[in-house]
Chain A
């Protein structure tokens, strides 16, 4: 199986100024992280708040400066965010957001754009009328569907879901997870699924990595890690849930 993303010795440091005149303070957020995402798999990334989960996602998308090597097989990785309320521009209609992606790719024919937007919104389980709505008129779950649809507009091979269901209530969570699974099966997507919810990861992912304070302390097949955890931290995490 090929790797869709290979990460070697990834280190991210943030430096900050407390005020305009003070010296920079440097903090290491990710320390020598190595992993790979295989083609067509859903890889779980678990860790507590502040462990650097989101920073891994940002580094892969080149949103933060990093040291080390990140090798992509897919040229346009897409991301789904935790907060579906801030993930959609409140000033634009859903249809506009869908069509923008096509417009930027050079699709000048508005009929073609509209047809594709319609196709996509139905694919993520919403009906045509939602294209004419503003994000504020949608529920959290519906917004998250729109976000997934927007990501899929790019025809990505690789998707990062950063706490994509954490802000939703349990029934909606299940629906969105179902949708992700379905799209994964249908399109052969590789997904990096970032979560702090061990149960969700168990149900969705094939492999899992445990992150603590910027280091990967354990990784492997989900069933193996869950039944036979090696690291002290993993045991602690699992005992708190099961």
Chain B
């Protein structure tokens, strides 16, 4: 309990620091939200009036505290460029990005874990070597490029989905999942290769331990040794990696959303940054930071369950 509390306090401090520095960064870089909201033709009087209305003339700290206070009461502010409330702008986008990240995470687990175990079990077999070579190649392909390849292969040649024709989850949830599978796959691919490699190495390293031989000499079959003794220990480094992947997938969806024209958080984040639309950017960053921290905390807790060596006091 004390452990969770401690983690929670750390989380809050982290979120405050992250948001403050992002806020600060926006004030340091060039660009004026008033100009981007009203256009370059706007008169100086109108710009000044807009600035006063939005509170842009106040010192940074005051602006930050005002934003923070509002945020805590559930008011994420009003977008400078769209003149609508931030919460209504992003509330529809969050599920899109989140579902995409979770999907690619599931794809990664479903694909990587069996392959990793198989290649470790059949080390130096024909299939192991083929997979190792393919792995190296795929690992070198960045998600946006594999996204293009997937569009070409599954969209144009096999016609499994229509590229660019995004299906909203409010209209047709099944169709939405069908469409989202492909960007999720693009995000998952490089992670799959890393997870396979990591799991394979981890299992092979674990197998070298003497307790594995002891387990054999007790009369365990090789399956029993692998599933009963080795995997639990071999999974430890992999779980850390998987946790990192999930956070990476949330953040990494930004570019892939562009490739597949998915209207998620990534897209709106990009436009808002170029428009100097602080309230929107800040809200998205808070959400992403919270998600990342939350996932990290889950991984820590999971670690405690799977590995008795780590007690929550450590």
Contact = CB atoms under 8 A, between A and B. Distances in A.
A87 B217 contact: no
A83 B209 CA distance: 9
Most buried by B among A79, A89, A100: A89
Given A89-B233, A91-B307, A83 B129 contact: no
A90 B219 CA distance: 19
A89 B217 contact: no
A88 B218 CA distance: 13
Nearest to B225: A89
- What DSSP secondary structure best describes chain A's contact surface? loop
B309 A88 contact: no
Interface residues of B, number: 22
Contacts, number: 61
Nearest to A106: B219
B82 to A, nearest CB: 53
A104 B219 CA distance: 7
- What DSSP secondary structure best describes chain B's contact surface? helix
Given A20-B129, A90-B233, A91-B233, A78 B309 contact: no
Most buried by A among B132, B224, B229: B229
Nearest to A147: B214
A179 interface: no
Given A20-B132, A134-B308, A136-B309, A89 B211 contact: yes
Contact of B213 (A20, A81, A105): A81
B211 A76 contact: no
A63 B210 CA distance: 12
A192 to B, nearest CB: 15
25 contacts: A17-B124, A20-B124, A20-B132, A61-B217, A63-B213, A79-B217, A81-B210, A81-B214, A83-B210, A86-B208, A86-B209, A86-B210, A87-B210, A87-B214, A89-B215, A89-B229, A90-B233, A90-B308, A91-B307, A91-B308, A101-B218, A104-B219, A150-B214, A153-B218, A154-B218
Across chains A and B, which 5 residue pairs bring their CB atoms closest together, nearest first?
A: A87-B210, A81-B210, A86-B209, A89-B211, A104-B219
Interface of A: 17, 20, 61, 63, 76, 78-79, 81, 83, 86-92, 100-101, 104-105, 134, 136, 147, 150-151, 153-154
